Amino acid sequence: MVNTLRDNISSLRRLSYTAVLLSVIAIIVSGATVLESMHKLQQVNILPNKATNSTNSSSQHFGTRLTNINKELNSTELSVINNASMSYFETAGEMYLNGSIVNLVQAATKNVTPFVVGGKPSVIYLGSITCVFCGENRWAMALALSRFGRFSHLYKGYSAIQDSDVPTLYWSKASYNRSTVELGASYNSSYISFIVIEDTAPISGGFSLQPLNVIQAEVNRTGNASYSGAMALILKLGNFQGTPYTIWGRSQVGGADAVDFGNSMPTNSTLQLTYMTHDEVLNQLSKPNDQFAWTEYAAADLYISMTCGSINNTAPVCTLPAILTIEKNNGY
């Protein structure tokens, strides 16, 4: 009787130790994640619903900022993209070919049948405003696309605050405070069609991507056959492995074609680009003199070569020796 009672007490004591230990662990782990989620929610709630054109940069430090988000590039800024000197593309291409670009520039491509819209092969982009690689990649994309047409509008934006908060370009004004899908860009070209499918989510959080069926439903709801067809093509190819996902004529690229977050390859999550402003990036692109800028041009050169290969080299940029060499070397 006494032994049984002792055993029971011992079991109870053991159970209580176990319960206390597990509770402490559960509280620590879940508490941290819940606090983090609450923090995210608070950040989402304080975001304005309309575009912020204010310049309260003093209260928005790099890495946690929304300064000038959705603000349209003025004519001088837009000119940096639209009127970049051909010599920059040639120089960057030569640097890429002779191995003097220190950042990674490469693209794993797959040959596809060009998606033709309005008699022109398409450049298809599927990305997310929250994605850091999309954010970085849009600079190179914009430079490349400017060789085949002109942007009439581009907007300042950022990747998600918790996905490195890098300054970037938005193709159109972005719904940075809610999850939706935005289509299109103010771009005109006689060589190519540019199809933009951009997933959005509150950029005060981290990287986020809506499920494909949601994105597809949003695209189909517009009734635009070109966008629905582009989405169907992405599905048919069946090789989506993240964003950005692009198709340049007959070359499909999985991911960004460069890792360009500063003048050297980053070794941790602290990126030089996070601490740059749009003005600084545009200044660098207008007069490239460092690895960051040359890498953007070299990344653009890869996209240009792919596109040239799909339009029989009919655009003026396709005659640049570096572009022709890249096109030949990479089999675009």
Partner 1 sequence: MRRPQSGPGRLENLSKMLRSRFFIAVLVISAVSYYALFYYLVLGNEHVFIINTPMYLVYALAVSSAAVLAASLYTARLIKALAKTAASGGTFSVISATTGGIIIGCGCSMPILGSILYAFGMNSISVWGAIAFVNSYQAYLLGIIILINAMLFYYYSGKGAAACRTR
Closest contact distance (angstroms) between CB of 266 and partner 1 is 5
Which residue from 119, 211, 289, 312 is in contact with partner 1, where contact means CB under 8 A?
211
Pick the piece of the chain touching partner 1 (CB under 8 A) from 52-60, 156-164, 282-290, 293-301.
156-164
Would you count residue 292 as binding partner 1 (CB under 8 A)? no
Secondary structure (DSSP) of 113-164: ---EETTEEEEEEEEETT-HHHHHHHHHHHHHHTTTEEES--EEEE--GGGT
Question: Binders of partner 1 among 49-88, rule CB under 8 A?
Answer: none
DSSP secondary-structure letter at 241? -
Report d(CA 52, CA 199) in Å as an integer. Answer: 20
Among 42, 239, 319, 329, binds partner 1 (CB under 8 A): 239
Distance in Å, CB of 211 to partner 1, minimum: 5
Answer whether 156's CB lies under 8 Å from 71's CB. yes
Dihedral angle over CA of 113, 171, 62, 144, nearest 10: 50
Nearer to partner 1, 17 or 225 (CB): 17
Are the CB atoms for 298 and 96 separated by under 8 Å? yes
> What is the closest distance, in whole angstroms, from the C-beta atom of residue 184 to partner 1 in the complex?
21
The three-class DSSP label of residue 109 is strand
The correct pick among 81, 112, 123, 256 for binding partner 1 (CB under 8 A) is 256
3 near partner 1, rule: CB under 8 A: no
- Contact between 19 and partner 1 (CB under 8 A)? no
Query: Does residue 268 bind partner 1 (CB under 8 A)?
Result: yes
Distance of CA 331 to the CA centre of its chain: 25
Site residues for partner 1, window 85-124 (CB under 8 A)?
104
Quick one: DSSP state of residue 181?
Answer: E
Pairing of strands 167-170, 187-189: unpaired
How many beta carbons lie within 10 A of that of residue 216, not counting itself? 18
Q: Which of 23, 32, 41, 45 binds partner 1 (CB under 8 A)?
A: 32
Tell me the residue type at 91. Answer: T
Binding mask 298-327 for partner 1 (x = CB under 8 A): ------------------------------
Binding region for partner 1 (CB under 8 A): 7, 10-11, 13-14, 16-18, 21-22, 25-26, 29-30, 32-33, 36-37, 104, 128, 131-134, 162-164, 206-213, 234-235, 237-244, 254-256, 259, 261, 265-269, 271
